[in-house]
Amino acid sequence: MVTGERTRLSILVLTEDSAEGSCETVAALVKKMVLLVDPACRTHLIAFEPQGDQEQRAMRGNLWKSRSPFDRQKIVLLGRAIAAKLIEDPVGFVAFHVDGDRRWAERASSENVAQFAEFVSTYVQPSVHSALLRQRDRNALAASAQDIARATAAALARLLRLTPFRSVEAWLYQNTAEARRLCQAACGRHLAKIDAWAADRGALDELDDPKAALCLISEHHLALAQRAFPADEVFRVNKSYAAAVIGLLDCADLCAALARTHL
């Protein structure tokens, strides 16, 4: 909850990770990313909203990409919740974390990226379009079909996909200073590996299983995301983290909303 100055924008954080604190971890990563997009933005004026029970049920275990008819209603509700956020006034944003499940070198074959596009076109886009039509009719607005189509496209651009390759640990373990401290406290057996990543940060996006590479567990994720995360260095690697930041930079509405935090 932001107190004092008024919140200037809000971002709904959705993550496929069901571990406790996962939404806070993704929010911490996004906070570092928006500072790369707009170094002058004041992040304390951004509200990061955790997913609610409805969204959690649909995100858990990658249910959002299920093709089972038994899961359809939950996915429909997820699509509607995302649509409702995207057409808020003032405009809202959704950060949707889904792992690439591939090494960065194999990113073109990521099924999750392809299925995310399918999820958006099947569940989110129709929900946004229908909601905008209802909004037009309710308020007796003189909006043509083309106006609605443009507004739908603008809303969908505010759905921000965050895709680490292979998994979110490839981003979190970039905080090699914090990873080193945590490993030293846990077992101390992986310090040479962490030092090697610090010297070659691009290697983390190419691991087959980053999660299994260290002794760290999900309870360490928030500290890795929050404590002096080296965002500039990770961006310069020009792999999956940079791709996510560029995706945010390409969202004109987000850039405008971040600029409104300057005042």
In this prediction, residue 56 carries a pLDDT of 78
> Is residue 187, in this structure, part of any structural domain at all?
no
| Domain presence at residue 201 | no
* Residue 28: exposure state from Cβ atoms within 10 A (0-12, 13-18, ≥19): buried
Asked if residue 145 belongs to a domain, the reply is yes
pLDDT at residue 2 in the model: 43
pLDDT of res. 28: 98
pLDDT in tens, 38-80: 999 999 999 999 878 778 777 876 889 999 999 999 999 999 9
Indicate whether 208 belongs to any domain: no
Q: Examine residue 192 and state whether it is found in any structural domain, yes or no.
A: no
Domain that holds residue 243: 9-170+231-259
Question: How much is the pLDDT for 4?
Answer: 57
Please report the pLDDT score of residue 126 as a whole number.
Answer: 97
User: Which residues does the chain have with pLDDT short of 50?
Assistant: 1-3
- What DSSP line would sit under 34-76, residue for residue? HHHH-TT--GGGEEEEEP-HHHHHHHGGGGGG---TTTHHHHH
Residue with tokens 């189509």: 149
| Whole-number Å distance between alpha carbons of 70 and 207 | 35
The structure's pTM equals 0.94
User: Does 217 fall in a domain?
Assistant: no
pLDDT at 200 (0 to 100) = 98
pLDDT of residue 52: 81
In terms of Cβ atoms closer than 10 Å to its own Cβ (0-12, 13-18, 19+), residue 188 is: exposed
In tens, the pLDDT along 95-117 reads: 999 999 999 999 999 999 999 99
What pLDDT shows up at residue 57? Answer: 76
Q: 35 Cβ partners below 8 Å, 6+ apart?
A: 41, 43, 231
Q: Is 82 domain-assigned?
A: yes
